[in-house]
Amino acid sequence: MKRSTFIILLALLVVVLLGLFYIIPVGYKPKQIQFDTVAWEKADCKVVRTRIRQQMLNDLKNKISNSTKAEVVQLLGEPDKYGQYCLGPEPFFPPIDTAWLEINYNENNQVSRVDTIRIYRN
């Protein structure tokens, strides 16, 4: 095989593999840690490498189950204008969207459902 053919095939392979990373998201499961209010407040949602809120998610879900809306706000602070909490970059490569925590409440203002959603927002 000629050297130029080899280089062309190698370049094509690299392009195809990079293209697959954009088409097929590669999942990332963050290491889970205990919920920490101070770390939650300090977490910057716009920093790509910060997934501290996602790492606390399992413990947080247990903490807020059956909590009232007032208790959730006391623990996490006020949600954004959509009623959601930013968790940081989505847990996929490449992180295009942002992961958000959506908490639904029942008629007694108690947590009824907790979801993680992915949305692109500026």
Spell out the residues 6+ positions from residue 10 whose beta carbon is closer than 8 angstroms to its own.
Answer: none
Provide, rounded to the nearest whole percent, the portion of the chain with pLDDT above 70. 76
Whether the predicted pLDDT of 112 surpasses 60: yes
102 in Cβ contact with 115 (< 8 Å): yes
* pLDDT number for residue 19: 61
Full DSSP string of 79-105: --TTSEEEEEE-SEES--SEEEEEEEE
* pLDDT number for residue 27: 55
Q: Which residue has the higher pLDDT, 85 or 98?
A: 85
Please state, in angstroms and rounded to a whole number, the distance separating the CA atoms of residues 39 and 12: 44
This prediction's pTM: 0.70
Mean pLDDT of 69-87: 93
* pLDDT number for residue 17: 67
pLDDT 10s digits, 8-53: 887 787 777 666 555 555 555 668 899 999 999 988 776 666 788 9
Q: Which residue has the higher pLDDT, 70 or 6?
A: 70
Q: And the tokens for 108?
A: 């007694």
